[in-house]
Amino acid sequence: MDQAIGLLRGKVRLLPHQAEWKKSAEEVIAKLKNLLADTAVDIQHVGSTAIASIHAKPIIDIAVAVNDLKEDLLEQKGIFCRGKDVSGQMLFVMGNLQTGIRTHHIHVVEYASTNWKNYINFRDYLNAFAEKAQEYDRCKQELARQFSDDRRSYTLGKEKVVQELLKEAQAFFC
């Protein structure tokens, strides 16, 4: 039986959309709102688990918008900081770090930044346009078959399609 939430670091396994993903995202968002109080301007469920019509890795992505990025923002609250994985963003990880199972990625970005807009626009665009979501899903599934043990190659392989879809999303939402 597939685990609905959680994936070993570095691995790629896609599952059909799971109802538990939304519930888990809501629970973590509530926890983050409590921990961060006024520091968080907005918190949203993003990434493939927030797109109901596609397959996703069973790791819940949450974007947190803040006015000022701080490395110790969540680490002092027991959420592990992976550092700046992307310029202008801090990545925090939840899960069982001893076994390497990750359940949630918390992407902390500056509010109204390009990173924030990309997270929201990408999710909303793919939820609004099923044919675009399916295009992305086909790309992900092909790459997952090729790179199940190589998360980096999987992610790099998606980059061209992601950039094209982001460009379309930006044009649509402007």
pLDDT bracket for residue 37 (50, 70, 90): confident
Q: What distances in angstroms separate CA 89 from CA 5, 18, 83, 130, 131, one per listed residue?
A: 23, 27, 8, 29, 30
Summarize the confidence of residues 101-116 as an average pLDDT: 94
pTM over 0.85: yes
Q: What distances in angstroms separate CA 171 from CA 118, 122, 131, 165, one per listed residue?
A: 12, 11, 17, 10
Is the pLDDT reported for residue 166 higher than 80? yes
Summarize the confidence of residues 23-50 as an average pLDDT: 95
pLDDT of 40? 93
Question: Among 1-15, 37-51, 96-110, 130-144, which is the least confidently predicted range?
Answer: 1-15
pLDDT of 76? 64
The rounded distance, in Å, linking the Cα atoms of 44 and 23 is 13
HSE-CB of 5 using CA atoms within 13 angstroms: 18
CA 161 to chain centre: 16
pLDDT tens digits for 74-88?
A: 776 668 888 777 788
CATH architecture for residues 7-173: 2-Layer Sandwich (3.30)
Helix, strand, or coil here: 117? helix
pLDDT bracket for residue 1 (50, 70, 90): very low
